[in-house]
């Protein structure tokens, strides 16, 4: 099993969610996040005062998936989150040792 963390733009969230639902992925955890990479932030004006926004708002998705479905999940996220601009995001993949569904006690892929 794998754990996929995808950091994407807010505006692409709906299309990523639809793409994941289309491939029958329904278990997703969403976290509001802030960060920077090559974008390095930008300047904004608030009440006449200019200031630098270093950490930009992003969305972090966490998805547990069986190994055989991993490439399908990655492809769905990549195609739905793509705009071609800096800041489209990143996908991180980790090994997932175990999953336990608290309600039933199921373990492994059955608990996903």
**What is the structure's pLDDT at 40?**
66
pLDDT above 90 covers what percent of the chain?
Answer: 74
pLDDT of 67 > 90? The answer is: yes
DSSP H or E run through 71: helix 70-81
How confident is the model over 28-54, as pLDDT tens digits?
Answer: 999 999 887 776 666 667 677 776 777
CATH code: domain of residue 7: 3.30.70.120
**What is the structure's pLDDT at 62?**
98
pLDDT of 87 > 70? The answer is: yes
Number of domains in the chain: 1
State whether residue 83 is helix, strand or coil. Answer: coil
- pTM, rounded to two decimals: 0.85
Give the mean model confidence (pLDDT) for residues 20-27: 94
d(CA 112, CA 106): 9
For 9, residues 6+ apart whose C-beta sits below 8 A from its C-beta are 58, 59, 81, 83, 87, 88, 89
State whether residue 107 is helix, strand or coil. Answer: strand
**Range of the structural domain that residue 18 is part of:** 2-111
């Amino acid at each position: 099993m794998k754990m996929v963390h995808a950091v994407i733009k807010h505006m692409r969230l709906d299309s990523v969610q639809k793409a994941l639902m289309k491939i029958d992925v329904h278990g997703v955890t969403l976290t509001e996040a802030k960060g920077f990479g090559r974008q390095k932030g930008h300047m904004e004006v608030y009440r006449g005062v200019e200031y630098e926004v270093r950490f930009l708002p992003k969305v972090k998705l966490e998805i547990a998936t069986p190994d055989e479905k991993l490439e399908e999940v990655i492809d769905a996220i990549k195609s739905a989150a793509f705009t071609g601009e800096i800041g489209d995001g990143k996908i991180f993949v980790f090994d997932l040792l175990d999953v336990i569904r608290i309600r039933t006690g199921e373990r492994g892929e059955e608990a996903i």
